[in-house]
Structure 1
Amino acid sequence: MRKRARIIYNPTSGREQVKRSLPDILKVYEDFGYDTSAYCTTTEPLSAQKEAKRCADEQFDLVIAAGGDGTINEVINGIAVAEKRPKVAIIPAGTTNDYARALHVPRGNLVAAAKVIEKDQSVFMDIGKVSTASEERFFMNIGAAGFLSEVSYEVPANMKSLFGSLAYFAKGAELLPRIGKVPVRVEYDDGVYEGQASMVFVALTNSVGGFEEIAPDKTLGDGKFTLIIVKATNLVEIMRLVTLLMNDGKHINSPNIVYTKTSKVVTETIGDRKLMINIDGEYGGDAPATFINYRQHIEMVGDIDGMKLDIDTRDATMEEKETDFIKQVSELEEQSQ
């Protein structure tokens, strides 16, 4: 019996390239042995998430998220709570495509991205869950708060579509003079930071905002976030950190950085200053926020050659993964009591 696959695609991503390439993409998965169908997302809120949940409920074997990081995030949220979760592949057609970088999936060629399935390789990736007063949401790449997260909110959708990453750099340059410090308290596994910060990152991969060295020592599937607290609060300090970041990730040794690994993060502001939380590039509520890591929770198709992995989980059974998941939840509940 042939396996079933569903492509969930955003028709506007990548200047509508997904829609034009859909017949060739479908053929790739069909030729690899999947009965493959497609779903075009709509303007209804969480359209991709709802379709992904339906696919998980109906026990599809593979779900392909075709679009930007926002579409991938919705797909992850749609299947994250299912007892039996389908494997996920991605076809990047967004602006930054951070998650595609982490999985070594080609960017700029949608059919080549689909053909990664032909390597028959996958990895169980950690995902995060963030809880704020207003909502709970899973994320696959980055939770952030502070100055740089404002860029995603302020770049108009038409600029993202037309100019790609250039739009983010242009808006970022415009916002640099507005860098401000926020008094925060951040709890993590090995300690607490209490003081001024301009940015807090909670990262699951090594690629954020197009920079691939933001967490240069990141090991995928290790059950740990990379927590980065940027203490720098003026333009000169920020630009110096960016220079170190672009120089093989040497920013992690700066005295203006708190850099550590942790399975849980609790962040809040000191006083009444508002701090927005950015989840995979979209608004995710306001601090206080709690981030929890779900280790090796979703099996992702990728080109794992050259990836820095915690363990090779290719042969792990679904039963073992579910048992590990239940154990993690129980341990986290005990810690919170």
Structure 2
Amino acid sequence: MEYSIIVNLLAGGGRAKKIWQQLQSRLNELNISYQVVLTRYHGHAIDLAERIAGRFAGADDHIIMVVGGDGTLHETLNGLIKAGSSIPLAYIPAGSGNDFARGYGISPNPMTALSQILDAKHPTLINVGHYYDAIKQENGWFLNNLGIGFDAAIVSQANASKAKKRLNRWHLGNFSYLSQALSVLYNQEPFETMVQEKNGHHHPFPKTFILIASNHPYIGGGFKVAPDESLSSDTLELLVVEKRNWLITFWCLWLFSRGKLNRSRFAKCFRSPRLHYVTTSLEFAQTDGEEMGSRFMDLTLDTRRYPFWGTSLKEKSFN
């Protein structure tokens, strides 16, 4: 096998640079054939992935390996699908959240994660979420989740926070997410959402606070928002929570931190291969921790399969 490796040296507050140095030494020691490209700016991995896909179109012995965070992996996936490619994707987690690694079963230890890639004999088809925003006429793909409102506002604040870099250096990226939650909890205004089921039934939520579509259980560096979801299924789970009095809202936040919010009587879950929902006000949105800005949204979500290269620490879930 030959590898094209996309590396984001700034991921994880710069921790990815040290990880890449370790990986590079090991790859050279094993005489692995590879070429490496470094991301230089936000969105660069999309362009790099498209370029690599064009160069190795039709090759059946090529793999694209990402060393970085969920955002770098997200960009690479979008670049590959945009290019119409099906080159298998591999991943070494080196970011602050690393939620996809948890969802798939990739070791947080870089050397072990590399072994999972090198030991693989064939690609594994995983579920990938796809969204179409009718307002902007925009398509995109996500591996982890797409959130509007509460979690997206947390992502926006956390990405702008100096504390995130400090916490990343201490391997505590999930605390960056949690530390912003109380601020967002106080400032985030509820908004109106309409969810349409496949049978045409409409569900209005006039005071939406949390609105997250998930492709696997994890968000924000290890919090379980959709415990029943899996990358091996062909469904997405949409979690809707409305803002009520402060006592209930704090209770919902505690349940969220414990991975039990989706089973609460204060939450509504929709699980389907296809979801459609609309917001009627400008709200923050995010996909895989990447900010989408503040916008109105008319979303249709569905899924597709994409080949991923690497053994899983929880292999049974893909059998």
TM range (shorter): 0.7 to 0.9
What does residue 184 of structure 1 align with? 193
| TM-fit CA distance, 1:264 | 2.1
Unaligned 5+ runs, structure 2: 168-172
Aligned-partner Cα distance in 1 for 2:166–2:300 = 33
| TM-fit CA distance, 1:157 | 5.4
Q: State the one-letter code of the partner of 2:9.
A: P
Work out whether residues 131 and 302 of structure 2, in 8 Å CA contact, stay in contact via their aligned partners in 1.
no
Aligned residues: 303
Aligned-partner Cα distance in 2 for 1:152–1:175 = 10
Give per-residue Cα distances to partners, 1:78-115, cap 9 Å, x unaligned: 111344411111111111111111111122x3233222
Q: State the one-letter code of the partner of 2:276.
A: V
Q: Please list, as runs of the form range in 1=range in 2, the aligned pairs for 1:69-80 lying within 5 A after superposition.
A: 69-80=70-81
Give per-residue Cα distances to partners, 1:164-221, cap 9 Å, x unaligned: 3322222212222224221111223354321221111111111111345321221323
Q: 1:158 to 1:250 in 2, by over 3 A?
A: closer
Q: Is 1:218 matched with 2:229? A: yes
What does residue 127 of structure 2 align with? 126
Unaligned 5+ runs, structure 1: 313-337
Aligned-partner Cα distance in 2 for 1:166–1:305 = 26
Work out whether residues 147 and 179 of structure 1, in 8 Å CA contact, stay in contact via their aligned partners in 2.
yes
Shifted more, 181-190 versus 6-15: the winner is: 181-190
Aligned-partner Cα distance in 2 for 1:96–1:141 = 11
Work out whether residues 126 and 305 of structure 2, in 8 Å CA contact, stay in contact via their aligned partners in 1.
yes
Aligned-partner Cα distance in 1 for 2:10–2:215 = 27
Q: 1:19 to 1:243 in 2, by over 3 A?
A: closer
| TM-fit CA distance, 1:64 | 1.1
What does residue 112 of structure 1 align with? 112
1:195 to 176, 198, 205: 205
Q: State the one-letter code of the partner of 2:3.
A: A
Secondary structure of residue in 1 paired with 2:86? coil
Give per-residue Cα distances to partners, 1:223-271, cap 9 Å, x unaligned: 1111111124443223322433455x4433322111121122222224x
What does residue 265 of structure 2 align with? 255
What does residue 280 of structure 1 align with? 288
What does residue 308 of structure 1 align with? 317
What does residue 161 of structure 1 align with? 165
Aligned-partner Cα distance in 2 for 1:215–1:307 = 19
Secondary structure of residue in 2 paired with 1:308? helix
Work out whether residues 222 and 295 of structure 1, in 8 Å CA contact, stay in contact via their aligned partners in 2.
no
Give per-residue Cα distances to partners, 1:145-180, cap 9 Å, x unaligned: 112210111122543222233222222122222242
2:246 to 235, 247, 250: 235
What does residue 174 of structure 1 align with? 183
Aligned-partner Cα distance in 1 for 2:245–2:300 = 27
CA RMSD of aligned residues (A): 2.4
Aligned-partner Cα distance in 2 for 1:17–1:51 = 21
Shifted more, 275-284 versus 139-148: the winner is: 275-284
What does residue 36 of structure 2 align with? 38
What does residue 91 of structure 1 align with? 92
Aligned-partner Cα distance in 2 for 1:130–1:114 = 31
Q: State the one-letter code of the partner of 1:9.
A: V
What does residue 290 of structure 1 align with? 299
Identity, % of aligned pairs?
20
TM-score, scaled to structure 1: 0.81
2:55 to 45, 55, 58: 58
Q: Is 1:139 matched with 2:137? A: no
Secondary structure of residue in 2 paired with 1:115? helix
Work out whether residues 8 and 63 of structure 1, in 8 Å CA contact, stay in contact via their aligned partners in 2.
yes
Secondary structure of residue in 1 paired with 2:50? helix
What does residue 101 of structure 2 align with? 100
Aligned-partner Cα distance in 1 for 2:89–2:129 = 16
Aligned-partner Cα distance in 1 for 2:9–2:317 = 33
